[in-house]
Structure 1
Amino acid sequence: MKFGAAIRRHTAAVRAMVVFTIILGIAYPLMVTGIAQLAFKNKANGSLITDASGQVVGSSLLCQQYVDKNGDALAQYFQARPSNASGGPTDPGCNYTLSGGGNRGTNDPTLKDTIRGRIDAYAKAYSIDPAKVPEDAVTASGSGEDPGISVENADYQAPSVAKARNLDLSVVRKAIKENTDGRNLGFLGEEYVNVVTLNLALDKNHPVAAAG
Structure 2
Amino acid sequence: MSNTSTISKSLIEAIKARRTYYAISKQSPISDDQIISLVQEAVKYSPSAFNSQSARAVVLLGENHDKLWNIVKETLRKIVPADQFASTEQRVDSFKAGYGSVLFFEDTTVIEGLQKQFASYADNFPKWSQQSSAIVQYVAWTLLEEQGLGASLQHYNPLIDEEVKQAWDIPASWQLIAQMPFGTPTAQPGEKEFQPIDERVKIFK
User: What's the TM-score, normalizing by structure 1?
Assistant: 0.25
User: What's the TM-score, normalizing by structure 2?
Assistant: 0.26
Structure having greater relative contact order (Cα 8 Å, sep ≥ 6): 2
More strand by share: 2
